[in-house]
Amino acid sequence: MADPNNNRRRPNLLTGGCSAGKQYLASKTAPSIFSVEVAVRHEKQNNLKAMRKYVALTDKATDVMDTGVPTDELTIKRRQQTGFVVHSSDTQLFILTTAHAVDCVFKKGVHQVTAEELNLVFLFALDIEKDLLLLAVTKDELCLQDVDVGGVFVPCSSDHPIIHLADLPPEQSDLSLLQGWPPLRANSSIWGSVSYLERPYDVLTSCNTKGYTMKLTEFHEFDCANGFSGGPVINGDGQCMAVFHAVMVDAKCGYAICLEDVREFLTNALENLLEDNEDGDGGHA
């Protein structure tokens, strides 16, 4: 998509394929990347009924032993993907990722699990059809695992800068960086270029069981491992121009949720946040 205002694009860190610019972009955005892990556990008996509601669509509620105490076995597999910081306040970070981390609880035409219900668990905003999920985490609870001292968790003192959305949509052949945190591989990245801007989801697959409606930006080079979903696709200005969705097996390409869909979701979510915090908490976009 061309710039509707006919603004000429200025040179950026990826203009000319400069390797130093690539290294800078990768290191600059790395502190904003998070690993997002989702697993359903039942630690207390009185939570079991509520959690069964969330997994009712798949009939995969956690079993209860004869003693009446829920087991600690996972009947829904652990999911790991990538997220990145898109907003912050004095006390919280807001991390954007993909909603299919919890896709065991919805399917096409049966989107019965509302954002309000799932909010009781861990999230702030959700759009199942666009595959976007916004998490709210408390800064004081962020920890690092120190492998040098037996794997204990210590408070994280690092800064986690916001990755802003791109000012302009990408153009075909634009160079880009996909940042990700697949299992056991922090600071993973893939370089590629835009091969197509906005493909309708149903054009790419005949098996849209989740009822996705977003448009996808195509990257041939992003044929990557599981766990990159939710990662930001970064342009030469260090801005997010798409959010990685998945590798489409039939097309053998990587696809990301287009900037327009991401911007609409995030704008609505943050507007609701500001309305809920009328007294002001120092938040900034």
Residues 155 and 200 in one domain: no
pLDDT, position 184: 75
CA 231 vs CA 190, 203, 228, 243, 257: distances in Å: 11, 23, 6, 6, 10
SS3 content of the chain, % helix, strand, coil (to 5): 25, 30, 45
Identify the CA nearest to 255 among candidates 234, 233, 237. 233
DSSP states of 99-134 as a string? GGGGGGG-BTTB----HHHHHTTTEEEEETTTTEEE
In the prediction, which pLDDT does 114 show? 54
Distance between CA 42 and CA 176 in Å, rounded?
A: 41
Q: Which of 105, 140, 159 delimits the end of a domain?
A: 159
Domain boundary residue, one of 120, 143, 159? 159
Tokens of 187: 């600071």
Q: What are 168's two structure tokens?
A: 């302009």
Residue type, 227: G
pLDDT score of 107:
53
Domain that holds residue 142: 34-159
Residue 1 lies in a domain: no
Would 238 be classed as within a structural domain? yes
C-alpha dist (Å) from residue 13 to 132, 155, 160, 170, 191: 28, 33, 21, 15, 13
pLDDT tens for the chain, 285 residues: list them: 334 444 545 555 555 555 777 888 888 999 999 988 876 554 444 454 554 444 443 343 344 444 444 443 444 456 789 999 999 998 889 999 998 877 655 555 555 455 555 555 556 788 888 999 999 888 888 877 776 777 777 888 888 999 999 999 999 999 999 999 888 777 888 999 999 999 998 888 777 877 889 999 999 888 877 889 999 999 999 999 999 998 887 777 899 999 999 999 999 998 887 776 654 544 444
Any idea what the CATH number is for the domain that residue 242 is in? 2.40.10.10
Q: What is the structure's pLDDT at 125? A: 84
How far apart, in whole angstroms, are the C-alpha atoms of residue 154 and residue 141?
10
* CA dihedral (169, 175, 181, 182) positive or negative: positive
Q: What's the full length of the chain, in residues?
A: 285
Residues 177 and 128 in one domain: no
CA-based end-to-end distance of the chain: 25
Residues 144, 52: one domain?
yes
Instruction: Say yes or no: 40 and 154 in one domain.
Output: yes
H/E run at residue 126: strand 123-127
Number of domains in the chain: 2
* Beta pairing partners, 144: 154
The predicted pLDDT at position 265 comes to 95
Q: Any idea of the CA torsion for 96, 79, 122, 98, to the nearest 10 degrees?
A: 30
- Same domain, yes or no, for 56 and 42? yes
248 and 192 within one domain? yes
